[in-house]
C-alpha cells in the first residue's frame, strides 16, 4: 500500500511542478552578479530539457535605491553596450513605459547553423516602486532549432525542423543587471 501511495505522489508532484512553471508562480530567476559576458550554452539544463516548449521567457529583476528616471538612463547605456558586446541590436525603445528591446526573433537572426541554432530577444524594463526607488527587469525569450526524430517501419526518420521555446539559464539577464548596477555606481547613482 505504501508503494502505491509513493507511485501516486510522483505524478502529482510533477503536475504541480509543471503548473508552477507554466503559471510563472515559481517566481523569476534570482539575481546574482555576473561580471563577464556569458558565452556558450544559454538554456537552463534541467528546466530547458524537461519542459522545453512550455515556458519561453525568463525574467530576472533587481530593486534599486534610485528613481526610475535615473535607472532608465543607465538601462539605455547598458542596452547600447549589450548591442556591441552581445551582438543584439537595439530593436525598440519605448520612452513612456521605460522599456527597451535588444535582439529580434526572426528566421534571419539564428545564431549558429543548422539544428541547435538559437535566437533570443531581451526586453529590459524600469518601473517605479516609489518616488525614490525602482525595479529593473530583464525578460529573455529564447528559442532553439530542433529536428524531431522517430522510427517508421524500423527506419530512423528525421522530422521537420522547428523552433522550440527553451528556458534561459539567466546568465545574460544577470550580466545586464550587473552592468546597470555598475553604470549607476560610476555615475554616483549608487546601488
Identify the structural domains of the chain with CATH numbers, from first to last: 31-186 (3.30.530)
Confidence (pTM): 0.75
pLDDT given for residue 117 in this prediction? 78
d(CA 43, CA 21): 15
At residue 9, the pLDDT reads: 47
Residue identified by cell 544577470 is 174
pLDDT category, 6, cuts 50, 70, 90? Answer: very low
Question: What confidence score (pLDDT) does residue 23 get?
Answer: 39
Measured between alpha carbons, how far is residue 187 from residues 6, 57, 133 in Å? 57, 31, 16
Task: Give the least confident one: 53-57, 85-89, 125-129, 172-176.
Answer: 53-57
pLDDT for 10 beyond 70: no
Most confident of 27-41, 130-144, 149-163, 177-191: 130-144
| Mean pLDDT of the 59-75 span | 97
* pLDDT score of 26 more than 50: no
Amino acid at each position: 500500500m505504501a508503494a502505491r501511495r509513493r507511485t501516486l505522489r510522483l505524478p502529482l508532484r510533477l503536475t504541480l511542478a509543471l503548473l508552477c512553471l507554466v503559471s510563472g508562480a515559481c517566481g523569476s530567476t534570482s539575481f546574482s552578479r555576473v561580471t563577464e559576458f556569458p558565452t556558450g550554452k544559454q538554456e537552463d539544463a534541467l528546466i530547458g530539457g524537461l519542459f522545453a516548449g512550455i515556458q519561453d521567457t525568463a525574467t530576472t529583476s533587481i530593486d534599486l535605491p534610485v528613481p526610475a528616471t535615473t535607472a532608465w538612463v543607465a538601462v539605455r547605456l547598458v542596452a547600447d553596450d549589450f548591442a556591441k558586446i552581445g551582438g543584439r541590436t537595439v530593436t525598440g525603445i519605448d520612452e513612456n513605459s521605460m522599456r527597451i528591446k535588444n535582439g529580434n526573433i526572426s528566421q534571419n537572426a539564428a545564431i549558429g547553423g543548422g539544428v541547435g541554432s538559437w535566437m533570443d530577444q531581451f526586453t529590459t524594463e524600469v518601473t517605479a516602486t516609489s518616488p525614490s526607488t525602482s525595479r529593473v527587469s530583464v525578460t529573455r525569450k529564447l528559442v532553439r532549432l530542433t529536428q524531431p526524430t522517430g522510427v517508421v517501419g524500423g527506419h530512423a526518420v528525421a522530422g521537420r525542423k522547428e523552433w522550440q521555446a527553451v528556458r534561459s539559464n539567466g546568465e545574460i539577464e544577470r550580466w545586464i543587471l550587473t552592468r546597470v548596477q555598475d553604470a549607476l555606481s560610476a555615475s554616483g547613482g549608487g546601488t
